[in-house]
Amino acid sequence: MFFYISKLLSFLLSPAVWIVGLLALAVFTKKDKLKKRSVFWAFLVAVLFTNPFLFDEVMRAWERPAIAESALQKKYDFGIVLGGGLRYDAQLGRTDAKAASDRLFQAIDLYRNNHIKKILISGGSPMIFKSNLTEAEMCKKYLLRIGIPARDILIETESRNTHENAEKSTALILSEKKKPDCLLITSAYHMKRAKDCFTQSKLDVDEYPVDRYAGPRKFKLDHLFIPSPIPFQGWHIFIREFVGYYIYALMGYV
């Protein structure tokens, strides 16, 4: 039930849904005052949530800071990747990369540069109706195809959210080694919730944030003032993550 509620909440937390709802209210209400207020708020939401500079600043405050690969001080037994950001295109018969695939690609670099001994991919089906091939299985197929040996790949295919990622990954890792050194590899905006979930599951992990939204601060005219549709999706991700963290706190998951 929690999974389905989270999907509904994710939909409702989108600024695009807010704008559509406000404009629909403006169209169908017969009250002139409410009509004007709805249009005003729809306009304000559109302006605020299409401003690239404002989005970058909010993300910069929320995201975990990046860590240079050269700053890693030890070799980890496991690099834990939460979702690989891959999807299978059945029509073309190939695997495509999504934005979060940076998690997987960074793990590959860490493995090839001898920072991690094994890669663990945690991720079942994120869809309401489960697909035949999970995220973890797709990632394993890709890793095998690029030459990473099967003995160095572990997958966890049952989890459908971050809480389950942590619980099921912890169980799998501890069945392999009692006192492992683990590096958690996930998006910078997701790291706070993910790290706290692993702490709650009693597995000590070091952070390796990737897939950042906020890069170097920019004061260019177009970045400061010209609206862009690009921040819209980013705001949805941030709001969902922000609300999700505190819901997890209420549930006792972090």
Dihedral of CA atoms 124, 125, 126, 128 in degrees, nearest 10, equals: -140
Instruction: Provide the pLDDT confidence category of residue 199 given band limits of 50, 70 and 90.
Output: very high
- Tell me the C-alpha distance between 116 and 148, whole Å: 12
Give the Cβ contact number of residue 35 at 10 Å. Answer: 15
Q: Would you state the pLDDT for residue 145? A: 94
Would you state the structure tokens that stand for residue 211, as one six-digit string?
């897939």
Residues 151-187: tens digit of each pLDDT: 999 999 999 899 999 999 999 999 999 999 999 999 9
pLDDT at 139 over 70: yes
Q: Would you state the pLDDT for residue 32? A: 94
Q: Would you state the pLDDT for residue 182? A: 98
Mean pLDDT of the chain: 91
Mean pLDDT confidence for 234-241:
94
Which are the contacts of 254, defined by CB distance < 8 A and separation ≥ 6?
Answer: 193, 196, 197, 199, 200, 245, 248
- Tell me the C-alpha distance between 51 and 89, whole Å: 33
The boundaries of every CATH 3.40.50.620 domain in the chain are: 69-210
Q: Would you state the pLDDT for residue 127? A: 59
Complete DSSP assignment for the chain: -HHHHHHHHHHHT-HHHHHHHHHHHHHH---HHHHHHHHHHHHHHHHHTT-HHHHHHHHHHHSPPP--GGG--S-EEEEEEE---EEEETTTTEEEE-GGGHHHHHHHHHHHTTSEEEEEEE----SSS--SS-HHHHHHHHHHHTT--GGGEEEE----SHHHHHHHHHHHHHHH-SS--EEEEEETTTHHHHHHHHHHTT--EEEEEES-S--S----HHHHHS--SHHHHHHHHHHHHHHHHHHHHHHT--
Q: Would you state the pLDDT for residue 226? A: 94
Would you state the structure tokens that stand for residue 96, as one six-digit string?
């495509």
- Tell me the C-alpha distance between 61 and 166, whole Å: 24
Q: Would you state the pLDDT for residue 72? A: 96
Residue scoring higher pLDDT (98 or 30)? 30
Q: Would you state the pLDDT for residue 92? A: 75
**CATH superfamily to which 69-210 belongs:** HUPs (3.40.50.620)
Q: Would you state the pLDDT for residue 130? A: 58
In the chain, % of residues over pLDDT 90: 78
